[in-house]
């Protein structure tokens, strides 16, 4: 019963819109299904690392250490701004994508997905609050591993589903026809999210 409660919270957490969704969508629309899935899988790996750190107490330390939390927040915000400006740059000069070979590398998709989760200290706070409801003093290592895997797999499956849905031929054709507007919106959203991260 506790596991189903954890599963439900993880599903709702994964589905909440934010910079992670924007990154996976951008990779899917700009570069294709495989890029979106790779970005989602890399994001899930970062989420899994935060979950492990929290279970072992490191995430709680970060969430209670203002300096560490602030540093990660600023690094994450800087990365969001960098991605936002890149999106706006492409919207202003779409020929740049063609010159670059039409697609980014798979490594670029993996890096984007991983960094957007690893540079998000709010995940430490989220997991500290979440796991405090499920972690007990006499809990086995196997149970903790199941909890961490649940978090990572749910996250990865959600973003894989997003990539699959938004890479359907008819929808993808429409999205790419409006790529300039999408890139502009993505850039504004990412920079706006960065501002929200650094503001109290």
Measured N-to-C along each axis, helices 141-165 and 2-15 cross at an angle, to the nearest 10 degrees, of: 30
pLDDT, tens digit, 9 for 90 and up, residues 34-88: 999 999 999 999 999 998 888 887 766 676 777 877 777 787 778 778 878 877 8
Q: What is the CA radius of gyration of the chain?
A: 18
Residue 171 has what pLDDT? 73
Do 40 and 162 touch, CB atoms closer than 8 A?
Answer: yes
Query: pTM (2 decimals)?
Result: 0.75
pLDDT, tens digit, 9 for 90 and up, residues 161-184: 999 988 887 776 776 666 677 677
Do 51 and 147 touch, CB atoms closer than 8 A?
Answer: yes
Do 124 and 54 touch, CB atoms closer than 8 A?
Answer: yes
Residue 8 has what pLDDT? 80
Structure tokens at 38: 């790779």
Read off the pLDDT of each residue in 11-24 and give the average, rounded to a whole number. 81
């Amino acid at each position: 019963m506790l596991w189903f409660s954890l599963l439900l919270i993880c599903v709702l957490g994964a589905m909440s819109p934010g910079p992670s969704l924007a990154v996976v969508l951008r990779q899917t629309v700009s570069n294709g299904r495989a890029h979106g899935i790779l970005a989602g899988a890399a994001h899930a790996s970062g989420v899994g690392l935060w979950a492990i750190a929290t279970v072992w107490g490191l995430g709680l330390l970060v969430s209670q250490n203002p300096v560490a939390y602030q540093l990660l927040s600023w690094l994450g915000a800087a990365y969001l701004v960098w991605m936002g400006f890149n999106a706006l740059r492409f919207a202003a000069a779409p020929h740049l994508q063609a010159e670059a070979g039409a697609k980014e590398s798979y490594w670029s998709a993996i890096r984007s997905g991983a960094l957007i989760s690893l540079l998000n200290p709010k995940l430490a706070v989220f997991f500290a609050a979440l796991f405090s409801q499920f972690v007990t003093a006499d809990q086995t290592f196997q149970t903790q591993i199941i909890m961490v895997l649940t978090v990572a797999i749910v996250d990865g499956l959600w973003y894989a589903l997003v990539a699959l849905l938004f890479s359907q031929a008819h929808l993808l054709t429409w999205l790419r026809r409006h790529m300039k507007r999408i890139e502009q919106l993505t850039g504004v959203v990412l920079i706006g999210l960065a501002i929200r991260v650094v503001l109290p």
